[in-house]
Amino acid sequence: MKLYNPEVEKAIAKIKEVKAKIICIQLPDGMKPAAKEITDKIEAETGAKVLIWLGSNFGACDIPLGLDRIGVDMLISWGHNRFHKKAGGW
């Protein structure tokens, strides 16, 4: 957590801006131990409910599916920036 800036303030500002109520946080393996700290902070400062994605976070290509079915308004995925998919197999 100290080596990499988790930018939680940026996440909180965005949650407030879009008025999200249910958040899913997706962390790379190295940041998963910080899930409690991030969850507690987001819930305390925004009042939103945070769900922690248990599974993989291989990259921005690996966005979880089906979250909207349980009412998730916003996914926050750490460790990656925008991914430019190449169509055509490679």
Partner 1 sequence: MKILLLDAPYSGSVELCKETIAYLKKKKYQKVALYASVQFVNKLDAVKKQLADNKFTAITSLADRADVKGQLLGCDNYHDSLHLEKQDFDCYLYIGDGKFHPLALVYAQKGRPEAKEVVCDDPLAKKMSLITIDDIKAILRKYRASLMKFLAAKTVGVIITIKPGQEQFRPAAALEKRFPEKNFYYFIDNVVSFDQLENFNFIEVWVNTACPRVGFDDQEKFRRGVINLNDAFLAEETLGKESVMNKI
Binding site for partner 1 (CB under 8 A): 2-7, 10-11, 14, 18, 20, 28, 31, 55-56, 58-65, 67-68, 72-90
Least distance (Å) between residue 61 CB and partner 1: 3
Question: Could you give phi then psi for residue 9, rounded to 5 degrees?
Answer: -60, -40
CB nearer partner 1, residue 45 or residue 79: 79
Half-sphere exposure of 81 (CA within 13 A, CB side): 0
Least distance (Å) between residue 73 CB and partner 1: 6
Q: Which helix or strand (DSSP H or E) is residue 27 part of?
A: none
